[in-house]
Amino acid sequence: MYKYKNLKLKKFLGKVPLVITTHTFWACLILFILSLAIGANLFYKYNILVQRAEPEGLEQAVFFKEKTYQQVLEIWQEREKRFQEADFKEYPDPFLEAVPFPEE
């Protein structure tokens, strides 16, 4: 019984590409309508519903951590300073004449 169902399924799946290629216009039309439906569903879910929903949890006040902000600002200023210093550092030219290795 199981082998018969498997064989029947295999035969059906073998005919699907042939049916799709013989009815190309209808297959394209169905796929186009399906993609429009999926796109409309996603647009509705992630754009329309989000605008209608009221945000939750706005009762809590947001506190600004001044000390943490100052620490981050100092780190950024230090990085900027090191970045500016890198412009004036001179690097050796790797394309100049190579110095031969000393022979042992």
Please determine, for residue 38, whether its predicted confidence score (pLDDT) is greater than 90.
yes
Distances in whole angstroms, Cα of residue 59 to Cα of each of 50, 53, 56, 62? 19, 16, 8, 9
Tell me whether residue 40 is in a domain.
yes
Tell me whether residue 9 is in a domain.
no
Tell me whether residue 75 is in a domain.
no
Predicted confidence (pLDDT) per residue in 43-100, tens digit = 999 998 888 777 676 677 778 899 999 999 999 999 999 888 877 777 777 777 766 6
Helix 24-43 vs helix 2-22: crossing angle, to nearest 10: 100
pLDDT for the residue numbered 98: 66
Domain of residue 38, residue span? 24-53
pLDDT for the residue numbered 51: 81
The model carries a pTM of 0.42
Tell me whether residue 14 is in a domain.
no
Tell me whether residue 83 is in a domain.
no
In total, how many domains does the chain have? 1
pLDDT for the residue numbered 96: 76
